[in-house]
Amino acid sequence: MKATFAVMTMVGIAELKANLSTYLRLAKRGHEIGVQEGSEVVARLLPCSCEGASGSDAAGTAAITAGKTGK
């Protein structure tokens, strides 16, 4: 059995904001990006595995992945 390990790219919030398009392209290509606030990971940017997800469905998935469920 062969083990595979994925490397998560870590980025701070300011860096993510300044280069959002770059990180979205990476996620689209299959990379996982961890978003840090200080030393704590507060969100993950993942490739969308939902075929045809758009509009509010995609936004809802992103909010849940980031841990923001509206509470």
State the residue range of the domain holding 42.
9-65
CB 3 within 8 A of CB 27: no
Q: What's the mean pLDDT in 4-15?
A: 86
Assess if residue 15 is contained within a domain: yes
Q: Which DSSP category does 8 fall into?
A: P
The dihedral through the CA atoms of 40, 61, 25, 20 has a sign that is negative
Greatest Cα pair distance, the chain, in angstroms, is 43
Assess if residue 51 is contained within a domain: yes
Residue 48 pLDDT class (50, 70, 90 cuts): confident
Token reading at 13: 């919030």
pTM, two decimal places: 0.62
Q: Which CATH number does the domain housing residue 36 bear? A: 3.40.1620.10
Domain count, the chain: 1
pLDDT for 49 equals 78
Assess if residue 70 is contained within a domain: no
pLDDT for 71 equals 46
Assess if residue 36 is contained within a domain: yes
